[in-house]
Structure 1
Amino acid sequence: MEETEKSSPPEELLHGLKLSDQKSSESTGPLTAGSKDAHHPRSLDRGDLHSSTQEPRAADECFHDCNDSFEVKEPGMEQERDNREDLARKQTELDEEYLLELEKNMPEEEKQKRRKESTKLKEKGNEQFKKGEYGGAEDSYTKAVKVCPACYQKDRSVLFSNRAAARMKQDKTEAALSDCSKAIELDPNYIRALLRRAELYEKTEKLDEALEDYKTVLEKDPSVHHAREACMRLPRQIEERNERLKTEMLGKLKDLGNLVLRPFGLSTENFQVKQDSSTGSYSINFVQNPNNNNR
């Protein structure tokens, strides 16, 4: 099957190739093609890119780590693979409204059959997760998402949240965040997905967003101790972060001011900044001899 595709590739795969390249690829056998690939690793990457965008996401997740070990590492390779994964995710996980439209005429028996299949895949993913097989668990949850009918929104919400947990264990932070948001979109009252997203926001220094999620959790369930503790802790951290950023900004402005004032025999020491404790506003006063004032 693979050799047939090489001898008569689709029209879009020939874009940018010369006619001579096509003829040479047809005239050479598998051994010659293999030798050519060994001398030109980038051509292999290009082939991987086309195949990964056409295959289902599950296959991509199963094999891309193994494939990476044979690739020649070049600048930008990691970003290229991330882009391929994002594209595959967009192709396989379509908009929920669009999926609902596609399933409008699906028989109820078929929906129930698919739901049972997705449940089995979810349970398989849960077992893999417990064993620490996070990549396998992610793959099982992905397959379950593809099978589960869009009409079962809470089921799909759980699947996205579970996959987020598996991706968190693999430090796939942005993908995990996306899954959490999808789970919350499908079920806004899903506490576990909200907590996971809040944890990811906090991990990526998005403290304001994390605080909002923790507040939402407390509004829905005041008994969640972790959310209450975070709501007490994060405001102080946010204030400290803002003060740190303010200090860094003032330091940079001071350096810039000294650079501008130096030709005139002045420095930022000639300008005293005072903060009004009652209003928090700042005032600037010019001082002719700042060193004399310190005596």
Structure 2
Amino acid sequence: MAGKDANDEEFQDALGEPAPSPQKATTNKPDHEKLIDDIIEKNSKLSLTDDEGGAAGSEGASNKDNDEDDSGDKADVIQPDGELSLEELQLQEKELSVEQLAANKEKADKLKLEGNELFKNDEPERAIVVYTEALNICPSVNSKERAVLFCNRAAAKMKLEANRAAISDCTQAIELNPVYVRALLRRAKLYEQDERLDEALTDYKRVYEIDPGQPEAREAQIRLPALINERNEKLKTEMLSSLKGLGDMILKPFGLSTANFQMQQDPNSGSYSINFNQNNS
């Protein structure tokens, strides 16, 4: 079986166009409540901690995966996968002999090849089922083989535009094999499709550390920092504009606006002072 392992994971990535983001339902809230909600939402997405490439920190981006509505992701079509947890698999293995574990490994290898053929024949749903079946018998000690199964299943999920589920599978593959370049590249592409640019850049950087000859990783490290900075500047501008709008709304009953207040920075201390000008409107 060793001779087949070198090629059976080498099928081309199935990268479709990212699914459009679902439109948020409109409400009949008063204008000032809508504005406040908009400010809170934008502020929650904004991260101003610069990293090595001038990019914002990825903590805020990671929350997107946990908190945002995933109705635009087709993961529900194929989830749950029905695989055993690592603990369940290890408990099951306690009842098996060395010979039975070896037989399971051999069967898992055959199922992997079957899943690959289904993938190549444009049957991703069936490929996912077969990869899962292989994961449920592939011995827990065979980390690299299990990583390949997770990574291949991620590719099948990508064909179904189930990007969030595919990211999860790539992550499990990377946890099993931290230097698995294919899984890192696949997850980086998924992050980028999901507009999680900070996390995508982190994966591309990791790929470059492992294999400096990867052209995608080199190109991404040139391209993504500028996109991240552009996004952050846009978010800051939008947030400040929203805050100005809120300030004008609060000050309007007093015959004032934010134009009546000017902020000046002390060049020595860096602190700000606010000056009031009655004549501005």
| TM band (smaller chain) | 0.5 to 0.7
In structure 2, the residue matched to 1:261 is 251
| 8 Å Cα contact 2:260-2:279 kept in structure 1 | yes
Per the TM alignment, residue 161 of structure 1 is displaced from its structure 2 partner at its CA by 0.2
Q: Distance in 2 between matches of 1:241 and 1:282?
A: 26
Per the TM alignment, residue 189 of structure 1 is displaced from its structure 2 partner at its CA by 1.0
| 8 Å Cα contact 2:75-2:162 kept in structure 1 | no
Q: Alignment partner for residue 212 of structure 1, among 181, 202, 216?
A: 202
Count of paired positions = 210
**C-alpha RMSD of matched pairs (Å):** 2.9
| Residues 117 and 199 (structure 1), Cα distance of their counterparts in 2 relative to 1, 3 Å cut | same
Q: Distance in 2 between matches of 1:222 and 1:281?
A: 44
Q: Distance in 2 between matches of 1:280 and 1:247?
A: 21
| 8 Å Cα contact 2:84-2:136 kept in structure 1 | no
**Aligned partner of residue 153 in structure 2, secondary structure:** helix
1:16-67 CA-partner distances (Å, limit 9, x unpaired):
xxxxxxxxxxxxxxxxxxxxxxxxxxxxxxxxxxxxxxxxxxxxxxxxxxxx
Per the TM alignment, residue 201 of structure 1 is displaced from its structure 2 partner at its CA by 1.0
Per the TM alignment, residue 82 of structure 1 is displaced from its structure 2 partner at its CA by 6.5
My pick for the range that moved more, 240-249 or 155-164, is 240-249
Q: Percent of aligned positions with the same letter in both sequences?
A: 53
| Residues 195 and 98 (structure 1), Cα distance of their counterparts in 2 relative to 1, 3 Å cut | same
Please give the TM-score of this superposition, normalised by the length of structure 1: 0.63
Per the TM alignment, residue 167 of structure 1 is displaced from its structure 2 partner at its CA by 0.2
Q: Distance in 1 between matches of 2:201 and 2:266?
A: 29
1:246-270 CA-partner distances (Å, limit 9, x unpaired):
1111111111101111111111122
Per the TM alignment, residue 116 of structure 1 is displaced from its structure 2 partner at its CA by 1.5
Alignment of 1:10-159 (within 5 A): 86=79, 88-89=80-81, 92-104=82-94, 106-159=96-149
Q: Are residue 199 (structure 1) and residue 189 (structure 2) matched?
A: yes
Q: Distance in 1 between matches of 2:266 and 2:155?
A: 48
Per the TM alignment, residue 184 of structure 1 is displaced from its structure 2 partner at its CA by 0.6
**Aligned partner of residue 290 in structure 1, secondary structure:** coil
Per the TM alignment, residue 271 of structure 1 is displaced from its structure 2 partner at its CA by 2.5
In structure 1, the residue matched to 2:277 is 287
Where relative contact order (Cα < 8 A, 6+ residues apart) is larger, the structure is: 2
In structure 2, the residue matched to 1:224 is 214
Unaligned runs of 5+ in 1: 1-77
Q: Distance in 2 between matches of 1:106 and 1:94?
A: 16
Please give the TM-score of this superposition, normalised by the length of structure 2: 0.66
Per the TM alignment, residue 84 of structure 1 is displaced from its structure 2 partner at its CA by 9.3
Larger radius of gyration: 1
Unaligned runs of 5+ in 2: 1-70
The structure that is helix-richer by fraction is: 1
| Residues 227 and 143 (structure 1), Cα distance of their counterparts in 2 relative to 1, 3 Å cut | same
Q: Distance in 2 between matches of 1:187 and 1:161?
A: 11
Q: Are residue 240 (structure 1) and residue 230 (structure 2) matched?
A: yes
Per the TM alignment, residue 187 of structure 1 is displaced from its structure 2 partner at its CA by 0.8
Q: Distance in 2 between matches of 1:152 and 1:165?
A: 20
